[in-house]
Amino acid sequence: MNNTLQEAKALQESIVKDRRYIHQNAELGQNLPVTTEYVVKRLKEMGYEPQVITDSAVVAMAGGKKSGKTILLRADMDALPILEENGLEYKSKTSNMHACGHDTHAAMLLGAAQILKNHEDEIEGTVKLMFQPAEEQLSGAKAMIKAGVLENPKVDSAMMIHIFSGMPVPAGTLLIPGGGYVTSSGDMFHIDIKGKGGHGAMPQDSVDPLNVMSHIHIALQEVIAREMPPSSTTVVTIGQMHGGNASNIIPDTAFIEGSIRAFDSKEREFMKNRVVDISKGMASLFRAEAAVTFPMECPSVYNDPQMSEQVLSINKELLGEQGVCEFAKAFPGGKMTGSEDFGYVSEKVPSVMMGFGGGSPEEGFPYPQHHPKVNFSEDVLYMGSAVYANTAMQWLKMNK
């Protein structure tokens, strides 16, 4: 077994303990007081001087004793507003659940932090540890960048691991996509429609916002069918349509909420513009008004081609040829249609997102992310810690 793997395996009990504490105290969004306090305490125990930037965001640095570049390792820490349905001894004590595996990410990065601290004199540059809140709201990375996480010292590259359950890959398998877009962008839109209310028996005296809402909904589907190329994977989804509260009254207002997903940045911008144009155009056609806002926006994660090749080589040496496989084995086409706010980081610096097998259905882990019964194999968490630490140290050596 590789030395780093051996060292990480010796920390397995500690990594699992960290994971279970964070899992039991699942918190949401930007406000993670219990989780943040715990991560800060653990880092201080290792000899770090962590800083809390923005709400609940923790940053710490290893190395810096030798000149070199700076690589950032990112782990998210927030949970989901899901009531856990597992009977685990460490089941969540809150009404929230780590149903996306962020508890494992934070625990694996804490394990990596210990390995890096043990080898601090050997690090040929600096490793910056980024413990991030609010990934599920697609806003935490953006806030941390605004607060300066990519500066002082300036970050030259970044990487992250995302665990997956219920996928057709054995636990502990590392999934490394090639260069290019890995996740879709995620843009949530809100359309307010203002009409003129009135009595249902006298529609001529009203401007019906529900009629406008219906036409906007249909027209947005036509953009995908007739304005995007057949090869496009762009998706527009309407998730909410609301207006009115009585059967015989035309309301004054209505609203629509939905999302746009795209891999291509040009297609993303095209769709956002078309949502605005169609909403305003349809409203004007029927003598109403429409206002469009995008309360949540997130770019795609882009894997830097050169860094992806280096990370693949590094981890084949760490885990062996059988321990690493292509992203396409779990995600058709080698891309994930969900969104990940690490995209904000990959816009700024060369970055790599990796997947990590957290258990297959054959291994007793049939449930996918965001399911109230999802769970992940704890037996392989030390491997994730080894990947984090070893990738950082080896990348710094390769890129002096």
- The pLDDT tens digits of the residues spanning 335-386 come to 998 999 999 999 999 999 999 999 999 999 999 999 999 999 999 999 999 9
Separate counts of helices (H) and strands (E) for the chain: 10, 16
Q: How far is CA 230 from the centre of its chain?
A: 27
Query: Which H/E stretch holds residue 74?
Result: strand 69-76
Q: Copy the structure tokens of residue 82.
A: 């899901």
137: CB partners within 8 A, 6+ apart: 29, 30, 78, 296
Question: Which pLDDT score, from 0 to 100, does residue 1 have?
Answer: 59
Question: Which pLDDT score, from 0 to 100, does residue 245 have?
Answer: 96
Q: At residue 326, does pLDDT exceed 90?
A: no
Range list of H helices, the chain? 3-10, 12-24, 33-46, 102-118, 140-146, 209-226, 265-285, 305-319, 343-348, 381-398
- The pLDDT tens digits of the residues spanning 114-133 come to 999 999 999 999 999 999 99
Question: Which pLDDT score, from 0 to 100, does residue 2 have?
Answer: 78
Task: Give the residue-averaged pLDDT of 266-277.
Answer: 96
- The pLDDT tens digits of the residues spanning 59-116 come to 999 999 999 999 999 999 999 999 999 999 999 999 999 999 999 999 999 999 999 9
Question: Which pLDDT score, from 0 to 100, does residue 20 have?
Answer: 98
Q: CA-CA distance, 184 to 176, in Å (whole number)?
A: 16
Please name the amino acid found at residue 324: V
Ordered structural domains, the chain, with CATH = 3-183+300-398 (3.40.630.10), 185-298 (3.30.70.360)
- The pLDDT tens digits of the residues spanning 353-365 come to 999 999 999 999 9
- The pLDDT tens digits of the residues spanning 28-59 come to 999 999 999 999 999 999 999 999 999 899 99
Q: CA-CA distance, 192 to 257, in Å (whole number)?
A: 9
Question: Average model confidence (pLDDT) for the chain?
Answer: 96
Give the DSSP letter of residue 246. S
Q: CA-CA distance, 212 to 233, in Å (whole number)?
A: 27
Q: Copy the structure tokens of residue 191.
A: 């359309």
Strand partners, 241: 256
Please name the amino acid found at residue 26: A
Q: At residue 330, does pLDDT exceed 90?
A: no
3-state DSSP call for residue 300?
coil
Q: Are 334 and 175 in contact (CB under 8 A)?
A: no
Q: What does residue 127 show for φ and ψ, rounded to 5 degrees?
A: -115, 120
DSSP code per residue over 148-190:
TTTTTTTP-EEEEEEEESSSSS-TT-EEE--SEE-B-EEEEEE
